[in-house]
Amino acid sequence: MYLALNVALVLFIILANYADRHRGLRLVVYILLGIGDLLLCGVGVLALGLGWLAGVAPGTAPVAGGLELVGVLGGVMLAAGLLGGVVLFPGVRRKIALLLDVDPDSCVHTTALTLAAYFVAFGVLQAQAWTELSLSLPPSMVLTPLDLAASSVFMLVVAFTGVGFLVRRSARETASRLGLRRLEWKHLLLVVGMVAAFLSMDVAVGWLWQSLDPKGFELAQESTGQLFGALLTPVGALAVGIAAGTGEEILFRGALQPRFGILFTALFFMLAHFQYAFSPAMAEVLILGLALGHMRRRVGTIPCILVHAGYNLANMLLQMLAGGGV
């Protein structure tokens, strides 16, 4: 099911790119987006009804399992469908274009705005519910290097198809649009300095968090450990470095940032790391995203990939040396 949804999403992004070149397809894209919004709203209302029958009002903190979480999920789905529907109005897109570098008449940009609305709604839910849910995950949900590789490939496919690779742009134009410029030797010094700075910040945030909120810190360690503990091996550390560094940077900094800007892209990046819930660690991810965003603007995406990969790899190796804490 998950694979089918991913394939359908990529095919739809390709269709949106063709629609920007062949105006006869534009109506098809907007109709399909509208159907998706209506489905989300419909399922959301149904789930809210189930949650209400369970005696839980919308907005109640989710509880692992049961109809309580179904009700909250319904509210999120309804919100996502409504936000996606609002984006379909040309006047709304013209207002958004005053803030972001988007073309209100582009099917690709309309699709990106709709998916962004979905992503924010579900990202907030995942971040809110993660700590409770992660502690009850079955062993089959533990991430493996193969899972990371598959996720990275999916992000790369979305990034390349999103900017119109071989549909609206040639290979060279696509590389330029994604910020994949030639790496210079002086950039390597910047990469080393940024990795060291990020690691230092990570140590400082961890120490401060543990000092001020030891119970919250311990719970976050336990919940993330449930999902990522199997990656505390040399192969796992390498997979985290390469897969996350490459896929996330080309998608977020390469594809999304030129349209959504540094701040909004960093917020998306933060929500993508929902496993940290709403904690100091998520605030740290936001700071990392902002710093990488400025780096992308100045020197391109490749140094961002190296910084992200180097930081993840070094962080995992340090955790292994410290005894396996995540």
DSSP class of residue 142? S
* Top-confidence range, 10-19, 44-53, 58-67: 10-19
Provide the pLDDT confidence category of residue 62 given band limits of 50, 70 and 90.
very low
Residues 213 and 271 in one domain: yes
Provide the pLDDT confidence category of residue 132 given band limits of 50, 70 and 90.
low
pLDDT over 80 at 235, yes or no? yes
Lowest-pLDDT choice from 47-61, 146-160, 194-208: 47-61
Measure Cα distances from 297 to 32, 211, 248, 263, 303 in Å: 34, 36, 16, 12, 11
Buried b (16+ CB within 10 A) or exposed e, 119-140: ebbbbbbbbbbbbbbbeeeeee
| Tens digit of each residue's pLDDT (9 = 90 or more) over 27-44 | 999 999 999 999 999 999
Which residues have CB under 8 Å from 192's CB, separation 6+?
A: 310
Residues 65 and 152 in one domain: no
**What mean pLDDT comes out for the span 225-237?**
82
Residues 165 and 281 in one domain: yes
Residues 87 and 159 in one domain: no
The total of structural domains in the chain comes to 2
Q: Give the residue from 136, 168, 192 where a domain finishes.
A: 136
| Tens digit of each residue's pLDDT (9 = 90 or more) over 268-301 | 999 998 878 788 989 999 999 999 999 999 999 9
Residue 230 burial (CB count, 10 A): 15
Q: Give the residue from 103, 136, 169 where a domain finishes.
A: 136
pLDDT score, position 220: 79
Residues 97 and 183 in one domain: no
Residues 80 and 191 in one domain: no
Residues 118 and 148 in one domain: no
pLDDT score, position 55: 62
Q: What is the 3-state secondary structure (H, E, C) of 201-234?
A: HHHHHHHHHHHHCHHHHHHHHHHHHHHHHHHCCH
pLDDT score, position 130: 65
pLDDT score, position 58: 47
DSSP class of residue 325? -
Residues 110 and 124 in one domain: yes
Provide the pLDDT confidence category of residue 326 given band limits of 50, 70 and 90.
very low
pLDDT score, position 134: 53
pLDDT score, position 72: 76
Residues 116 and 143 in one domain: no
pLDDT score, position 133: 57
pLDDT score, position 325: 42
> What is the share, in percent, of the chain residues with pLDDT greater than 90?
66
Residues 184 and 63 in one domain: no
Structural domain harbouring 76 = 1-136
Q: Give the residue from 136, 160, 178 where a domain finishes.
A: 136
Residues 149 and 128 in one domain: no
Residues 124 and 155 in one domain: no
Spatial separation of the C-alpha atoms in residues 308 and 161, rounded to whole Å: 23
